[in-house]
Amino acid sequence: KAYKTKNEALAAEREFSLQIGNIPEDKNMTFKELYTAYYSYQEDKVKPTTLKTYRDRIKYMQLLDNIKLKDLSVKHYELWRKEINKADISTAYKNDIQKFIKIVLNWGSKMYDFDFRSFYNKITKFINHNELKKEMDFYTLEEFKQFIIDNTIDKEGNTKVYASIY
């Protein structure tokens, strides 16, 4: 309520963070430094499991670690993309990692006034046409009832007791 626009509020937040020392002002910062600052910023805002997910993604971003953000280019992204494509992980997970990079870059734009638009807009999803999609089985109500009956009576005719799913 103290600020007329969102940009004014973000600028004030950035200034406040600099004053208390949470976020270093450095236009020469590397991607790793930005990632680390983002992690620190999120520590009291997200669940511990989310922080663990952030830590688990570090190994997939090492190729970008030492690149200065002011020098970050599509060429760096394409090299990173080729390396990630070699990793034995699912296409969905590759896209999750890439999405997280976009989140960190977006945060860097807000907190440090970096302009990643030329880079950010060229990030495309990973697609693997040869990857088999996992199928889900759906049961009708009758199939479900039969499943419950089949799985609640053991071979000797004794009724098994399970926790209710309702």
**Over pLDDT 90: what percentage of the chain?**
33
More confident residue, 22 or 136: 136
Residue 99 pLDDT exceeds 90: yes
**For 12-67, how does the pLDDT look when each residue is reduced to its tens digit (9 = 90+)?**
777 776 665 544 456 788 999 999 999 999 998 999 999 999 999 989 989 999 99
**Model-level pTM?**
0.64
Residue 159's beta-bridge partner residues? 153
126, 132 Cβ separation under 8 angstroms: no
Q: How many CB atoms lie within 10 A of CB 138?
A: 7
The sign of the torsion formed by the CA atoms of 92, 93, 98, 99 equals positive
More confident residue, 154 or 97: 97
Check residue 100 and give its pLDDT. Answer: 93
Residue 155 pLDDT exceeds 70: no
Check residue 117 and give its pLDDT. Answer: 81
Residue 68's beta-bridge partner residues? 30
- Please give the Cα distance from 108 to 133 (Å, whole number): 34
- Please give the Cα distance from 49 to 36 (Å, whole number): 17
**Over pLDDT 70: what percentage of the chain?**
81
Residue 159 confidence class, pLDDT cut points 50, 70, 90: low
